[in-house]
């Protein structure tokens, strides 16, 4: 493993000497962020840098970037590793949502405690098997509740799909909910209690600081995560 890392460091040093991005770049991201935000933008990146080959790896596991030879990681939260450089990209805003058809038959919740009278759709982490504790901002505090879920799914996209089909109230990041909001298939509930839960952040090893592929990709991330993001603009425009 040590010899492999040394070989990669030599390769990185050679890459840093190039003026033009070229060759492989290994990128990792959580599945929903990778599928909804990163993957659709990759053709645009390659139009700009046609000599770069992108190896995108999607999953929720916090990998050791240095040990596994990852060039750039996009993650929610902040792993404690002093060998990494970090850049915040966007807030990870999450809110409760329901479909208009569901709300047509049930009283709209006005406070988080009202969810006890609703069908809830919850998310289960594949890595730990734990279900999501729903956060809500009440005053200057964030409270968490464990809903009495009637449906539990271990994929964020599937949660949104169940909720959009009338399955109840579910909680979702705004970047997943935004397409449903545009089509009128979801509406926010308890919007005034929505939470910015940590940040979507890019990380890369200190050893990759001068790598032209990494510099180009990190700069590109700034374009696909503008402030405000397109999905949060959609979220802000609906009630």
Name, in order, each residue with C-beta under 8 angstroms of 156's C-beta and a sequence gap of 6 or more: 31, 32, 123, 172, 173, 176
Alpha-carbon distance of 21 to 72, in angstroms, equals 14
Whole-angstrom distance, CA of residue 2 vs CA of residue 16: 21
Where are the domain boundaries for CATH 3.40.190.290 in the chain? 92-196
Nearest to 169 by CA among 188, 182, 153: 188
Q: What are the tens digits of pLDDT across the range 203-222?
A: 999 988 899 999 999 999 99
pLDDT at position 12 over 60 = no
Pairwise CA distance, residues 213 & 220, whole Å: 11
Which residue ranges does the chain devote to CATH 3.40.190.10? 2-91+198-237
CA dist 48 and 35 (Å) reads 21
State which H helix or E strand residue 151 sits in.
Answer: strand 149-153
Kindly report the CATH number that applies to the domain delimited by 92-196: 3.40.190.290
The kind and range of the H/E element at 34 are none
The CATH number, out of the four listed (3.40.190.10, 3.40.50.300, 3.40.50.620, 3.30.470.10), of the domain defined by the range 2-91+198-237: 3.40.190.10
Tokens of 107: 């009283």
Which of 4, 21, 145 is closest to 72 using CA atoms? 21
C-alpha distance across the termini of the chain, in Å: 53
Q: pLDDT class for 82, splitting at 50, 70, 90?
A: confident
CB atoms within 10 A of CB 211: 25
Q: What pLDDT score was predicted for residue 197?
A: 84
**Mean pLDDT for the chain?**
91
SS3 at position 153: strand
Q: What is the pLDDT of residue 155?
A: 93
Token pair listed for 206:
């200190």
Per-residue model confidence as pLDDT tens digits over 106-133? 999 999 999 999 999 999 988 889 999 9
Decide if pLDDT at 81 tops 90.
no
Residue with tokens 């090893």: 205
């Amino acid at each position: 493993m040590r010899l492999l890392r040394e070989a990669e460091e030599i390769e990185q040093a050679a890459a840093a000497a190039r003026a033009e991005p070229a060759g492989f770049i290994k990128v990792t991201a959580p599945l929903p962020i990778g599928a909804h935000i990163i993957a659709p933008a990759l053709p645009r990146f390659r139009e700009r840098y046609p000599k770069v080959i992108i190896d995108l790896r999607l999953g929720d596991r916090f990998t050791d970037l240095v040990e596994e030879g990852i060039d750039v990681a996009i993650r929610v939260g902040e792993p404690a590793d002093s060998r990494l450089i970090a850049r915040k990209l966007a807030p990870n805003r999450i809110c409760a949502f329901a479909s208009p058809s569901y709300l047509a038959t049930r009283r709209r919740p006005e406070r988080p405690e009202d969810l006890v009278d609703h069908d809830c759709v919850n998310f289960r982490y594949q890595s730990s098997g734990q279900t999501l504790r729903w956060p809500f901002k009440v005053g200057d505090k964030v409270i968490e509740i464990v809903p009495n879920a009637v449906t539990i799914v271990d994929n964020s996209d599937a949660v949104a799909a169940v909720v959009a089909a009338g399955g109840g109230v579910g909680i979702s990041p705004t970047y997943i909910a935004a397409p449903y909001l545009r089509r009128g298939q979801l509406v926010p509930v308890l919007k005034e209690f929505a939470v910015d839960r940590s940040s979507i952040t890019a990380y890369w090893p200190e050893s990759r600081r001068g790598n032209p592929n990494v510099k180009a990709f990190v700069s590109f991330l700034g374009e696909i995560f503008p402030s405000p993001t397109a999905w949060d603009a959609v979220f802000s425009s609906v009630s």
